[in-house]
Amino acid sequence: MATPTLSKTDAMEAAAAASPFITVTFRIRRFNPEISDEAQWQDFQIEIDPKERVLDGLHKIKWDLDGTLTFRRSCAHGICGSDAMRINGKNRLACKTLIKDINPEKPITIEAIKGLTVMKDLVVDMEPFFQAYRDVMPFLVTTGNEPTRERLQSAEDRERFDDTTKCILCAACTSSCPVFWNDGQYFGPAAIVNAHRFIFDSRDEAGEQRLEILNDKDGVWRCRTTFNCTDACPRGIEVTKAIQEVKRALITRRF
Amino acid sequence: MKIHKYDTVIVGAGGAGMRAAIEATKLSRTAVLTKLYPTRSHTGAAQGGMAAALANVEDDNWEWHTFDTVKGGDYLVDQDAAEILAKEAIDAVLDLEKMGLPFNRTPDGTIDQRRFGGHSRNHGEAPVRRSCYAADRTGHMILQTLYQNCVKEGVEFFNEFYVLDQLLVEEDGVKKSAGVVAYELATGEIHVFQAKSVIYASGGTGKFFKVTSNAHTLTGDGQAACYRRGLPLEDMEFFQFHPTGIWRMGILLTEGARGEGGILRNKDGERFMEKYAPVMKDLASRDVVSRSIYTEIREGRGCGPAGDHVYLDLTHLPPEQLDAKLPDITEFARTYLGIEPYTDPIPIQPTAHYAMGGIPTNVEGEVLADNTTVVPGLYAAGEVACVSVHGANRLGTNSLLDINVFGKRSGIAAAKYAHANDYVALPENPAQQVIDLVERLRDSTGNERVADLRLELQETMDACVMVFRTEQTIKTAVEKIAELRERYKNVSVQDKGKRFNTDLLEAIELGNLLDLAEVMAVSALARKESRGGHYREDYPNRDDVNFMRHTMAYREVGDDGKDSVRLDYKPVVVTRYQPMERKY
C-alpha cells in the first residue's frame, strides 16, 4: 500500500485551525406580500469563515440579525434539493456553494430562482415544477407477469441511464432556462431528465408514451441548447446531452 | 381552521411514510402530511445500502442476518422483530427493484452486494456481502423510487404541513387515535385531520446534537407530539454515532467506503482498528468503531493540529473504484474540504446519526400505550419508531431495510384498521392546544432567542451524552436541559406573520428537541451499564441481570403543573439467541 500524501490534508487542517473570519455583504432580494407588493434588495454584513457555505451565511442572518428572512433548506450538503437559489446571477445550491468560491470581496447577491412565482424572499411556488415532472410518467412501467426474483439488467444497460438517476428535483436547471422563463408551459429540463431516466432504462416499456408526451408543442423541441441547465445542475448531470438524446430518440425511435 | 376527513393519515414522507402510503392508498383514502416536500426527506441522504440475504454473490441466509442484527444491537433487540426484518428483507429489496430502483448489478445482471459493518458469514466468522446498493446514493434512489411510485399510485400529499399534535380520545375506557392537527407553512392556517388510522413516519431527532449527519429538519416532531399526549418513548438513551462524519461538519461518509476497502488511520498512519476488532477490523459495529476512534484521540494519537480527529484513507483504492462505487462521498471531500480522496486521507470524526429509540410499536407497527396495550388506530414506522429491531446499536444498512419492511407492514395494517373501524369523534376544540402554542410563540415578547438556546443545547449534548458518558456528564446535561426548558418559556420570534413563517416553526422545533433531550438524558442517567451506543465509563460492562430490558419513558405532570420524566422498563423478547460476550 502506498503511503498517502499528507500535504494537502495537512494544509487544509492548518487553515481550518486558523479559521480566519472575513466580513462579507449578502445582498438579498426580499419580498413579503404581507408587508409590501414590491420586492427590494437588502444588504446584510456578516462575519464568516470563507470555507463556510452560503447557507451558513443565510443562517447567520436568520438566527442573529433578521428572523424574518425566509428560505428552504434541509440536508445542508447537496442531497435534498431544497435550497436552489440565484447566487451572483447563477443558479446554485446554497449548501454546496462555499463563500471563498464566489468572490467575497464584492457583495454576494442572492435571489429566488426565476420563472416560478416568488412566495416570500427566496421561497418559490414549486407546484408547476412538480406538475411538469408528474406529467412525464416518472415511474417504471412494465407489462406481463412479474418475475419472482429481480429483473435482470446488465451493468452496461444500468450505466446507460445512470447520469439522469442523480436528479434531486431542486429546479436549478429548469429555472435557469430562458425558454422556461418566457413560457412556463414548457416542460423544462428537469422533467425531460426524469423522462430520460426511464426511456433509457432497459426494464421499462413506456418509452414510446413518454416520447409522445415530449413531442408536444411544449416538449423537447422548445429546447434551444443554451446549456444553462447543464451549468446549473449541482449534481453534474449532463442535462443538455440528455435532452439531445431524447430528441434523437424521437427522430430515430430507437432507445 | 379547516377540518379534513381521511381513512388513513401518514405523517412524514420519507422512506417509511411513502412505503406505507403505497400500500395504504390502494386500500383506503389516504393523505400524506409532510413538513417538507417528499423528495427532501432525509432518507435521501442515506448512502451505503440496504441489507438483505439475497446470496447473489456469496453464501448467505436470513438467519445469519438475524443473528448479526441481534448481536449488533447488543442483545437489546426484540428477536421476534429482528427475525421478521431479516426474513422480509429479501422481498423488500425485490419489491424496490420491481418498482424501478436502479441497483448496481453483478456481471450476471442480478443485484450486486457489498460488505458492511457488523454483517457476517455464519455468526461472525468473516464479513459477508449483504448490502444491496446503488453506488453511494442508495437512500436517494429509494426516496426517488418511492416518490415515483406514489405519483404512479396517485397518493395525495399535503406538502409543508407540520403536524404539531396527536389527538387521543378515550372511548369505552380505551385511548384511541382520532386524528392529528397540522400547521400549514404557506398560510399559517391550522388544519385538523380526522382519520381512522394515523401512521407516524416523521424520522429522527438528531438536531439536538451539534456535530450530526442529520438534516436541519430532524427535530423529533412525531416523538414529541405523542410523548406530550402521555404516550411512552422507548430506549431514547440509545443514539448512534456514525464513525465517519466529515471533521467538524458531521456530513456522512458512508461505511460503504470501508466496505470497499477503506481504512481508518491515526496520526502515526496505524490501522488502529486491528487492535480493537481483530476479525472485523474497520467493519466492526458502529458503536465499537466510534469508541475506538475517540480512544485513539484521547490517548494522543488523533490527527491535525488539535489531534481531534482521525483519517479515512481511500488512497490505496483505484480511482475507477472510487468513481464507480463512492462518487458522492468523494465529491463531498472535494467540495467541503478541498482535498482529493485519490491521494489525500479524509479527516473524520464520529457524528450523531441515528436514534435507536422512539415511539414503541409491535411488529405490525401498532403504537403501544404501555408495555402491552395497543393504541387503536395509531401506528409508527421508521426512525421515529422503536420496534425494536435495532436494540442498543443499529447495524449499517438495517435502517433502509427497517423503513421498507415496517413502512409496508404499518401501511397495510393501518389501512385494514380503517376498513374495519369507524371514526372516533373529535374532541371539543380539537386544535386548541396548537392554536395556543402558535399564538403564545408568535406573540411572545420574551428576551430569549431560539438560535442561542438551540446552540447551548447542542453543545451540551455533544459534551455530555455523546460516545462516552458518566454519571457526572449526564447530570450536567440534565441540569442544563432543565435550565434551557425554563428559558424556553421566554423565547420569542421576530417574524410575526402568517406566510411561510419558518422563524416560528424553528421555535416550535426547538421545543420538541428540548423535551426529547430531557427524555434522553434522564433515560441515560438511569441505565447504569454499557450497552451498544450507550457507554458509561463509570459502568463499563454490560449488565444483563439488571438492564437487559427496554426503557419506557413517560411524561408526568405534577399537581403544580410541572412536568417530569417517569421511567419504567419492558422485557426484551428473546427467541433464539441467549446473550453472549460481544466481540468483532
Chain B residues in contact with A134 (beta carbon < 8 A): 151
Q: Tell me if B116 sits within 8 A of B131, measured CB to CB.
A: yes
Interface contact B337-A73, CB threshold 8 A:
no
What DSSP element (H or E) covers B175? strand B174-184
Give the closest-approach CA distance of A217 to chain B in angstroms: 24
> SS3 of B273, please?
helix
CB contacts under 8 A, B 471-500 vs A, are 493-495, 497-500
Q: Tell me if B226 sits within 8 A of B512, measured CB to CB.
A: no
| Residue matched to cell numbers 441489507 | B51
Tell me what the pLDDT averaged over chain B comes to: 97
**Chain A contact probe: residue of B444, B456, B500, B510 with most A CBs at under 10 A:** B500
- Catalytic, B286? Answer yes
Q: Is B304 on the interface with A (CB under 8 A)?
A: yes
DSSP 8-state code for residue A194: H
Whether A1 shows a pLDDT value over 50: the answer reads no
- Work out the average pLDDT over B416-427: 97
Q: Is A144 on the interface with B (CB under 8 A)?
A: no
Q: How confident is the model at residue A5 (pLDDT cuts 50, 70, 90)?
A: low
Q: What is the pLDDT of residue B34?
A: 98
Interface contact A119-B313, CB threshold 8 A:
no
Q: What is the pLDDT of residue B574?
A: 98
Interface contact B499-A32, CB threshold 8 A:
yes
Q: Tell me if B534 sits within 8 A of B39, measured CB to CB.
A: no
Q: What is the pLDDT of residue A3?
A: 52
Q: What is the pLDDT of residue B172?
A: 87
From the list B213, B271, B208, the residue with the least C-alpha distance to B456 is B208
CA distances from B290 to B223, B284, B423 (A): 26, 10, 48
Q: Is A178 on the interface with B (CB under 8 A)?
A: no
Whether B55 shows a pLDDT value over 60: the answer reads yes
Q: Tell me if A83 sits within 8 A of A72, measured CB to CB.
A: yes
Interface contact A130-B347, CB threshold 8 A:
no
Tell me what the pLDDT averaged over chain A comes to: 95
The ipTM, to two decimals, is 0.96
Q: Is B344 on the interface with A (CB under 8 A)?
A: yes
Chain B residues in contact with A164 (beta carbon < 8 A): none
**Chain A contact probe: residue of B22, B105, B149, B510 with most A CBs at under 10 A:** B105
Chain B residues in contact with A203 (beta carbon < 8 A): 100
Q: Tell me if A173 sits within 8 A of A188, measured CB to CB.
A: yes
From the list B312, B381, B320, B398, the residue with the least C-alpha distance to B132 is B398
- Work out the average pLDDT over A167-192: 96
Give the closest-approach CA distance of A11 to chain B in angstroms: 10
Q: Is B312 on the interface with A (CB under 8 A)?
A: no
- pLDDT, tens digit, 9 for 90 and up, residues B513-545: 999 999 999 999 999 999 999 999 999 999 999
DSSP string, A8-46: HHHHHHHHHHH---EEEEEEEEE--TTT-SS-EEEEEEE
- Work out the average pLDDT over B445-454: 97
Whole-angstrom Cα distance, residue B235 to residue B519? 9
CA distances from A164 to A197, A237, B262 (A): 5, 6, 28
Whether A12 shows a pLDDT value over 90: the answer reads no
Chain A residues in contact with B346 (beta carbon < 8 A): 9
Q: What is the pLDDT of residue A6?
A: 61
Whether A135 shows a pLDDT value over 80: the answer reads yes
Q: How confident is the model at residue A18 (pLDDT cuts 50, 70, 90)?
A: confident
Q: How confident is the model at residue A4 (pLDDT cuts 50, 70, 90)?
A: low
pTM score, two decimals? 0.97
HEC-encoded secondary structure of B437-472: HHHHHHHCCCCECHHHHHHHHHHHHHHHCCCCECHH
Q: Is A117 on the interface with B (CB under 8 A)?
A: no
Whether B111 shows a pLDDT value over 70: the answer reads yes
Interface contact A9-B102, CB threshold 8 A:
no
Catalytic residue among B130, B137, B228, B286: B286
Helix, strand, coil shares of chain B, percent, nearest 5, are: 35, 25, 40
CA distances from B441 to B435, B438, B509 (A): 10, 5, 12
Q: What is the pLDDT of residue A255?
A: 82
Whether A17 shows a pLDDT value over 80: the answer reads no
Give the closest-approach CA distance of A167 to chain B in angstroms: 9
- pLDDT, tens digit, 9 for 90 and up, residues A74-122: 999 999 999 999 999 999 999 999 999 999 999 999 999 999 999 999 9
Give the closest of B105, B249, B303 to A153, CB-based: B105
Task: Please indicate whether residue A11 or residue B272 has the higher confidence score (pLDDT).
Answer: B272
Interface contact B344-A6, CB threshold 8 A:
yes
> SS3 of B71, please?
helix
Helix, strand, coil shares of chain A, percent, nearest 5, are: 40, 15, 50
| Residues contacting A124, CB < 8 A, separation 6+ | A112, A113, A116, A117, A118, A171, A175
Interface contact A154-B137, CB threshold 8 A:
no
Q: Tell me if B35 sits within 8 A of B426, measured CB to CB.
A: no
Interface contact B339-A96, CB threshold 8 A:
no
Interface contact A154-B148, CB threshold 8 A:
no
* Cell reading at A145: 407477469
- pLDDT, tens digit, 9 for 90 and up, residues B230-266: 999 999 999 999 999 999 999 999 999 999 999 999 9
> SS3 of B179, please?
strand
- Work out the average pLDDT over A173-195: 96
- Work out the average pLDDT over B78-107: 98
- Cα distance from N-terminal residue to C-terminal residue, chain B: 56
Q: Is B154 on the interface with A (CB under 8 A)?
A: no
- Work out the average pLDDT over B480-489: 98
Chain A residues in contact with B102 (beta carbon < 8 A): 158, 161-162, 165, 201
Interface contact B39-A63, CB threshold 8 A:
no
Q: What is the pLDDT of residue A2?
A: 47
Give the closest of B99, B215, B251 to A140, CB-based: B99
**Chain B contact probe: residue of A3, A73, A133, A150 with most B CBs at under 10 A:** A150
- Work out the average pLDDT over B345-364: 98
- pLDDT, tens digit, 9 for 90 and up, residues B67-86: 999 999 999 999 999 999 99
Q: Tell me if B539 sits within 8 A of B499, measured CB to CB.
A: no
Q: Per DSSP, what are the bridge partners of residue B168?
A: B177
- Work out the average pLDDT over B218-226: 98
Q: Tell me if B221 sits within 8 A of B35, measured CB to CB.
A: yes
The sheet carrying B126-132 orders its strands as: B50-51, B126-132, B113-121
Q: Is A18 on the interface with B (CB under 8 A)?
A: no
Number of A–B residue contacts, CB under 8 Å: 188
- pLDDT, tens digit, 9 for 90 and up, residues B297-339: 999 999 999 999 999 999 999 999 999 999 999 999 999 999 9
